[in-house]
Amino acid sequence: MYITALTARSFRNYDSLAVGFSPGVNIIVGANAQGKTNLLEAVHFLATGRSHRAGRDGELVKWGRDLAFLRGEVSSFGGSRSIEAQIPAAGRKSIKVDGTELRRLSDLFGIFQIVMFTPDDLQLIKGSPGLRRRYLDMQICQISPLYRHYLQRYNQVLRQRNKLLERREARSLPVWDEQLVRFGSAVIRYRLRAVEVLSPFTQRHYRAIAGEGEEMKLAYQPFWAREGEGPPWSEDDIQGLFREEIRRVREDELRRGQTLVGPQRDDLVFAIADRPAKSFASQGQQRSGVLACKLAELDYIQRESGEYPLLLLDDVASELDDERRERFFAGVPEGVQLLLTTTSLRPLMPILAHGQVFRIANGIIREGKGG
């Protein structure tokens, strides 16, 4: 899967942009604050309907304009598709696929699959559990419409149940408890399976990048699990443990006015050399681990969907030493389209011969030469 062309108008610092990409390596080079990350953000928006960094959509509209426009032409085994987005400075965005407006944003997921790295992703291992849950959800949502349905329904039930808890309406809770168990258990099952598939991919890529003979392991930790407890859990196990935890915390929930159990409290746990990475990983180990996860995402999506997603890399070259950088790029599977940003071509010499170079300044992009 790859993007062949991108058009943007009044998006971030772009007045008007039209660029075509090769199906291989595309390198966007320029000084800081010239629009490199904005270009990747535009591609990310076309794939997900969201910015990876803006708090609200209106921030994406160029200052002084009323509306931003994006259009991407994408190709996959299933043929070519066009995706358009109109983003008003105030109001509701509109997204069209092949000229037809989508009724729900979730319908966009999976049409154009991506994996993205930004320097903020280096917090994945040591940051909050919410970062790791979103990391999992992003991958699964791109390949499973049913998971998107379960996750949406769970979040709807969670919001309604929290309203009842805030109002201390204990008599109304049992019906919502069962829905919480039903949809929450489905979310957990999908996440457990995803980690089961991701883990060996991540281990392999970590060994290749770190080059230190260390092992990195992933484990999904549901809200009921204590340290050292792990799968397998059957569907009946998950639902039974879920109900047991609901009963256990009932009084606490009523007192605090919020749901205290469920997959919104789960975590993805990393271990390096059998030690908790969140507590003990060095900066170098964190970088190797996060980039191994990104390569594992490529393998996971290819296994589940039959083709590789597009790989977006924002300033990855500056985050690695020469050896790890070379090992990372060696781990990118053949046939994956790359869009990557950099302030200097020097660190990218090993892949430069295979790449198309674009030079960017003040929101204007031109195809350039390497070197």
Q: Per residue in 121-161, pLDDT tens?
A: 989 999 999 999 999 999 999 999 999 999 999 999 999 99
CATH number of 1-113+309-371: 3.40.50.300
Locate 241 and state its tokens. 């443990």
The class of domain 119-298 in CATH terms is mainly alpha
Residue spans per domain, the chain:
1-113+309-371, 119-298
Check residue 347 and give its pLDDT.
83
Cα first-last separation, the chain = 28
Evaluate whether 1-113+309-371 and 119-298 have a shared fold.
Answer: no
More confident: 225 or 74: 74
Read off φ and ψ for residue 357, nearest 5 degrees: -105, 135
Check residue 217 and give its pLDDT.
92
What one-letter code names the amino acid at 208? A
Q: How many helices (H) and strands (E) does the chain have?
A: 9, 15
Closest CA to 61 of 87, 92, 100, 97: 87
The overall average pLDDT reported for the chain is 92
Locate 46 and state its tokens. 């076309």
How far apart are alpha carbons 312 and 116 in whole angstroms? 5
How far apart are alpha carbons 238 and 181 in whole angstroms? 9
